[in-house]
Structure 1
Amino acid sequence: MSSPAPRLTRNQRLDRLPVTGKHRRLLVGSGVGWALDAMDVGLISFIMAALAVHWNLTSTETSWIASVGFLGMALGATFGGLLADKFGRRQVFAVTLLVYGVATGASALSTGLAVLIALRFVVGLGLGAELPVASTLVSEFSPRKIRGRMVVLLEAWWAVGWVAAAVIGTFVVAGSDNGWRWALLIGMVPAAYALYVRWGMPESVRFLERKGRREEAEDVVRSFEADVPAEELARIDAENAASPGVAKDMAAAQETSIWSPALRGRTIAFWIVWFCVSLSYYGAFTWIPSLLVADGFTMVRSFSFTLIITVAQLPGYAVAAWLIERWGRRLTLAVFLVGSAASAGLFGLASEEWMILAAGCLLSFFNLGAWGALYAIGPELYPTNIRATGTGAAAGFGRIASIVAPLIVPPVMAFGGAAWLFGLFALSFAIAAVAAFTLPEQRGKVLDA
């Protein structure tokens, strides 16, 4: 293999590569972990509806099952990012999978509401820490020209996990009085998957270099280069040598705090988007199965409707992955947020079955496309030394909204019904869209090392 030009850093050597088999394995490896996260979060919406019947829970008690998990996710996201910047992306990714996988399996043995709530908090710690760490890892390895698309494709695994949750909810949770326990036992899969993550995935080159582990970093870069034919690598180097340099986000370079003057504005806007999207998404999708049951649908029919609505997430991610490298991050995110706002309003006014399905599918399409763009933007806003911290802190702040969201649904429904509830979610999406327009556009820029 021809050696890279001396002037190229290891990160530049990674940025210049085409998509290789190792990129695809990294994406799938991280994506499976992401899907398992989504499956756990999604299962709770079905388990809430089932336990409300089997344990005769009030709506407030049911709300706490979801909210305490999101409380754990808020803490996990905040500290997970800090730990990933200190100990490495891969290490923290594996530990978080192990934590929430074991705790989910233990939840199946819960003898009462208090025990279940306590274990859901532990599950949330693992879930919250894993998501920003995985997106940071994928972003740091992705070729520069398709970095945003790679992260959206990672986020698309969320839909795979949520569809799996809907299938399990429809055929396992609704199948018997103890179906919810069997569903939680299935949720132990991440504990075993953590072993693969720990030994089968590479550590971030940027992290290794920052820790002075240059030989390990060099080995990782060479392993990716080895997947590219020598003649193709030579052609890429020749083209890069003949072309002008790529723009770099100089405002972020060398900063050591997400609240520094250069980064403060983007941090505030990023946090606002995270908070508003989390409020609307978790408020709506955590409660949709229960709301349908309350409207008179049988549990099986309610869960079937939710399964159909959930499948619409997949094309939402696909369209966002295509647009994010054509329109850019900021416009793609804002457009999907505006679509989410309109869809939430329509869902609140839906009265017929076909209207509920149509509006629900539109909400899934736009909302999950927005999530994909949001996760793609995050790692690009901050330099390497605070990248996981910045994405984790924003996710942690957003989890405050996800804690509140399940709790506000019962009182708002009692006050004004679905129209008021989903009108609130539509307003929240609209605020997020405005904040998204103030974020810097990072398409094509080099991730600061």
Structure 2
Amino acid sequence: MTDTAVTGAFTAARLDRLPASRWHRKITLIVGIGSFFDLYEVFLGGVLGAALAERWQLGHTAKAWVIAAAFLGMFVGANVLSVLADRVGRRRMFLVNLGAYAGCSLLCAFAPDLPWLLALRFLSGIGLGAELVLVDTYLAEFLPRAVRGRYIAWAYTLGFLGVPVVALLGARLVAAHQVLGVDGWRWLLVAGGLGAAFLQLMRRRLPESPRWLMVQGRDREAERIVADIEARVAHETGGSLPLVPAAGTPPERKVPLGALLRGDHRRRTVMWCVFQVLQTVGYYGFGSLAPVVLTAKGHTVTDSLLYAALGFCGYPIGSALSVPLIDRIERRTLIAAAALAIAACGLVFGLADAPWLIVGSGFALTLCSNVFSNAFHVYQTEIFPTGLRSSAIGIAYSLSRLTSVVLPFLALSVLARFGAVAVFAGSAVLMVLLCLDVVLLGPRSTGRSLERI
């Protein structure tokens, strides 16, 4: 092992052995709030589709484009910005993506017609394309392995508050039609843009990932950041830090992108790409289509948004529920169990017509969805090396966004021809295939260092 490799392994071991501290909780909070805006924007599409259908006389295709436009932008952003994050740094791309989203979201609020709305939603999506990829990558590279799962789960619990927020705000603002002389749905876009702009100011003080710096050969910068973190943690915990264990596997130096399709990485890359395509239907399909499905069943737009909002309350609760589970149960086992529960709850939601059953099954589905989501977000950070982590996650994640572009067109066509039950039955079949993919091809990861995995 070379001197630089030994240094890299030692740096990773120093980060992993730190006790959880207020500093770790602070970066989890700042980074986690960013996922709020990504998820707010994802589920905003379904609210806008339902709200504008009558106002702008939208047909099935136009409603599908309202939902799909942001996802198409996210597909582009995930491919471009996540790869750039492996080249120019995690912190820099954090600032680029939020700044682009904030500006485009504010412009979107002033869209005079459907073409302008779709174009600006697409640009907003590019800005957010790598947000969740960067949240996962950045936190995984800083957090000690003993709390990595729990803290990333807490970050997403903050983020998933955005889902009921957008639905509840949507129900109120759509019902009000106008606030201060401005259409209610436009205020939803203003809120997202201003919130992201404020968060960008908070993120300017975040340090760069020492693991990424080591991969780039910038050892002195990495050493300075790690030493500063150790000093902060020692001060906060009021005692001496644990001894650094014997260094294990070092982080790799710069790795070409083509390595994802060679050797051990190929199996994981194929497994994760298949996973991301399948999970989109079960996970994002419900959140983005629920208001449209309910209006198709004959419920009013206001009632549909209210029922969806109440069901969406399961998202943050499910995310919080995952915290005590995520470091105790092997990741891939937890992913598979939650996916099967999503499939079952989706079938009940598709059959439900009574308001109590719609809300109850929707709540159960979203609760299971975020046990599933948090488990897979942690898992994907662990199965790829530091030099390729952001690129690998981003490229696979972009496939989920591309699937999300196609999904509204297919799902709304199936909904119009065969009804809600057919939509959720198809989703259930795909979730079973997802379970087989992860259990048969995915490696174990719980409790292991990133370098060892």
Per the normalisation by structure 1, the TM-score is 0.92
What is the match of residue 191 of structure 1?
197
Q: Structure 1 CA distance, aligned partners of 2:254 and 2:444?
A: 19
C-alpha contact 1:253 1:383 (8 A) present in aligned 2: no
What is the match of residue 61 of structure 1?
62
What is the match of residue 200 of structure 1?
205
Q: Give per-residue Cα distances to partners, 1:329-362, cap 9 Å, x unaligned.
A: 1111111111111111111121222221111111
What is the match of residue 181 of structure 1?
186
Correspondences of 1:197-346 after superposition (within 5 Å): 197=203, 199-229=204-234, 234=240, 236-237=242-243, 256=256, 257-346=259-348
Q: Structure 2 CA distance, aligned partners of 1:200 and 1:121?
A: 29
C-alpha contact 1:155 1:375 (8 A) present in aligned 2: no
Q: Structure 1 CA distance, aligned partners of 2:276 and 2:9?
A: 35
Q: Structure 2 CA distance, aligned partners of 1:334 and 1:217?
A: 37
Instruction: Identify the match of residue 350 of structure 2 among 348, 351, 361.
Output: 348
Residue 78 in structure 1 maps to residue 79 in structure 2: yes
C-alpha contact 2:307 2:359 (8 A) present in aligned 1: yes
Q: CA deviation at 1:236?
A: 1.9
2:227 partner letter: R
Q: Structure 2 CA distance, aligned partners of 1:206 and 1:421?
A: 43
Would the alpha carbon gap of residues 254 and 220 (structure 1) be closer, same or farther in structure 2, given more than 3 Å must change? closer
Would the alpha carbon gap of residues 249 and 8 (structure 1) be closer, same or farther in structure 2, given more than 3 Å must change? closer
Q: Number of paired residues?
A: 438
C-alpha contact 1:93 1:130 (8 A) present in aligned 2: yes
Q: Structure 2 CA distance, aligned partners of 1:354 and 1:213?
A: 58
Q: Give per-residue Cα distances to partners, 1:352-381, cap 9 Å, x unaligned.
A: 222211111111011122111111011111
Q: Secondary structure at the match of 1:229?
A: helix
1:21 partner letter: R
Structure 2 unaligned blocks of 5 or more:
1-6
Q: Give per-residue Cα distances to partners, 1:9-44, cap 9 Å, x unaligned.
A: 122111000111111111010111111221222222
Q: Structure 2 CA distance, aligned partners of 1:366 and 1:210?
A: 37
Q: Structure 2 CA distance, aligned partners of 1:165 and 1:124?
A: 17
Q: CA deviation at 1:424?
A: 1.0
Correspondences of 1:83-162 after superposition (within 5 Å): 83-162=84-163
Q: CA deviation at 1:253?
A: 9.8
C-alpha contact 2:104 2:123 (8 A) present in aligned 1: yes
Would the alpha carbon gap of residues 332 and 245 (structure 1) be closer, same or farther in structure 2, given more than 3 Å must change? farther
C-alpha contact 1:280 1:405 (8 A) present in aligned 2: no
C-alpha contact 2:9 2:247 (8 A) present in aligned 1: no
Q: Structure 1 vs Structure 2: percent identity of aligned residues? A: 31
2:138 partner letter: L
C-alpha contact 1:77 1:396 (8 A) present in aligned 2: yes
Q: CA deviation at 1:317?
A: 1.3
What is the match of residue 449 of structure 2?
446
Q: Secondary structure at the match of 1:236?
A: coil
Q: Structure 1 CA distance, aligned partners of 2:239 and 2:264?
A: 36
Aligned alpha-carbon RMSD (Å):
2.3
C-alpha contact 1:149 1:376 (8 A) present in aligned 2: no
Q: Structure 2 CA distance, aligned partners of 1:173 and 1:43?
A: 13
C-alpha contact 1:98 1:192 (8 A) present in aligned 2: no
2:375 partner letter: A
Residue 21 in structure 1 maps to residue 49 in structure 2: no
What is the match of residue 3 of structure 1?
none
What is the match of residue 170 of structure 2?
169
1:305 partner letter: Y
C-alpha contact 2:8 2:250 (8 A) present in aligned 1: no
Q: Structure 2 CA distance, aligned partners of 1:7 and 1:74?
A: 33
C-alpha contact 1:140 1:206 (8 A) present in aligned 2: yes
2:357 partner letter: M
C-alpha contact 1:343 1:360 (8 A) present in aligned 2: yes
Q: Secondary structure at the match of 1:143?
A: coil
2:387 partner letter: N
Deviates more, 1:344-353 or 1:26-35: 344-353
C-alpha contact 1:77 1:131 (8 A) present in aligned 2: no
Q: Structure 2 CA distance, aligned partners of 1:335 and 1:260?
A: 30
C-alpha contact 1:47 1:173 (8 A) present in aligned 2: no
Q: CA deviation at 1:272?
A: 1.4
Would the alpha carbon gap of residues 11 and 410 (structure 1) be closer, same or farther in structure 2, given more than 3 Å must change? same
Q: CA deviation at 1:7?
A: 11
Deviates more, 1:146-155 or 1:80-89: 146-155
C-alpha contact 2:253 2:387 (8 A) present in aligned 1: no
Would the alpha carbon gap of residues 258 and 321 (structure 1) be closer, same or farther in structure 2, given more than 3 Å must change? farther
What is the match of residue 393 of structure 1?
395
C-alpha contact 1:275 1:397 (8 A) present in aligned 2: yes
Residue 407 in structure 1 maps to residue 413 in structure 2: no
2:197 partner letter: A
